Amino acid sequence: MLLVADANLPGFTRLIEVLNAQASTPLEVSTYSERQPPMELLARADALFIRSVTTVDASLLAHAPNLKWLGTATIGTDHVDIPTLKAAGIRFHSCPGVNANAVGDYVLSAVAALSLQNGSLPNGEVAIVGAGNTGTAAGQRLTGLGLNVHYYDPPLVEQGATHVHADWQRVLASQVISCHVPLVTTGKHATHHLFDGRALAAFAAAEQNKMLLNASRGPVIDEQALLTHLRGDSQLQVVLDVWEREPHLREEVVKRVTLATPHIAGHSFAGKLGGSWQLLKKWLTDQGLALQLPSFQRFLQGYAQGQSRPCQAPQAPDWQTLAQWVLQVYDIRQDDQLLRQTGLTATEFDALRRNYAVRAELSQLHLQTGAWAQDENWRKRLTQLTFQIE
């Protein structure tokens, strides 16, 4: 049995070693480093473990006659032709929530960095567009920073959810918008070009220091309309982690947005390691194999990257200190600088993602606090920020 895996799934081969130590017949695994697996591996693959850069459609499956199982270590599934998989009898799994903490950290780092640059926190509402795992994680952290967050999610409203709304005008009237939706090209709740020229003009009108963040899918924002808007006298601050023509970036768009990163919002080390662990656990269950993985926390602790980061906090922090704590763990500005310096071609963009440096999560920040942290409101805010109290 051959398992083929994206080489950018950290810990995958180490987990295979753990399983092979228990197995009577060792599992065979091969990895690939390009966007698509090579045909010689597809021809022999029984199971395929991918990330969002690999497109799975009928043309790929035509080269994989033995494939019976496919897993993507991502929340999104728009890179996978699910109906074709079903028709071929191939079992499929994704990993909803696996990188939610990382994406939440990314959004908070962006807002923290821009707020410090602007000299104040946003005083208007923050609209989270899409109240799934990543949107909820981002909204929770921004609430902990002290912002007034609301969630726009019409599909959830139709399902009876009461913590969300379907008021698009309220979204456009907000001071900050953060996008966390799947790419849906047709239907009542299509998200393709959700932010077109009209929406961008309505959102950016009248108020300075408005922020638009997209860490979901590139085509959610009409990039040409955005470029046209930014060419004008716009005060709009834009943070893009995803791009409409990815991995082919438009240089002028990169130059005009405020913060630009190479689709790494979910690439914390714990999040990527969690994707490997979750997929292998699902595969073992589907195969009915009596092999045991270590617990995820135990597995994470086996890496230096999983260690805590102490921080002295004897006095209650102001918002600037909270923002600086966030940037101490993950500073989005470093990824912005890296992309602008080295990542504007498709090859460079993919290399930045493939060789992305190890990144901690905010939950690894352990505050050594004074009595102020015993206050119920402070404990709630620190929990929302996912900081740990010692």
- 168 burial (CB, 10 Å; 0-12 / 13-18 / 19+) is middle
**Angstrom distance (rounded) from CA 8 to CA 288:** 26
> Per the residue annotation, which of 51, 165, 217, 267 is the catalytic one?
217
DSSP string, 287-339: HT----PPPHHHHHHTSGGGS-EEEEE-S---HHHHHHHHHHH--HHHHHHHH
> Per the residue annotation, which of 79, 263, 353, 381 is the catalytic one?
263
- 229 has catalytic annotation: no
- 340 has catalytic annotation: no
For residue 247, is the peptide bond before it cis, meaning its omega torsion is within 30 degrees of 0? yes
The token pair at 368 is 């050594």
> Per the residue annotation, which of 51, 165, 229, 246 is the catalytic one?
246
**Angstrom distance (rounded) from CA 289 to CA 279:** 14
Contact predicate 4/12, CB 8 Å = no
Helix/strand/coil (H/E/C) assignment for every residue in 12-42: HHHHHHHHHCCCCCCCEEEEECCCCCCHHHH
**Angstrom distance (rounded) from CA 49 to CA 2:** 11
Q: For residue 327, count other CB atoms closer than 10 A to its CB.
A: 16
Say whether 128 sits in a helix, a strand or coil: strand
- Cβ partners under 8 Å of residue 63, min gap 6: 39, 42, 43
**Angstrom distance (rounded) from CA 12 to CA 5:** 8
From the centroid of its chain, how far is CA 165? 23
- 381 has catalytic annotation: no
**Angstrom distance (rounded) from CA 366 to CA 350:** 33
Q: For residue 21, count other CB atoms closer than 10 A to its CB.
A: 9
Contact predicate 72/50, CB 8 Å = yes
Longest dimension (CA), the chain: 68
Catalytic residues: 217, 246, 263
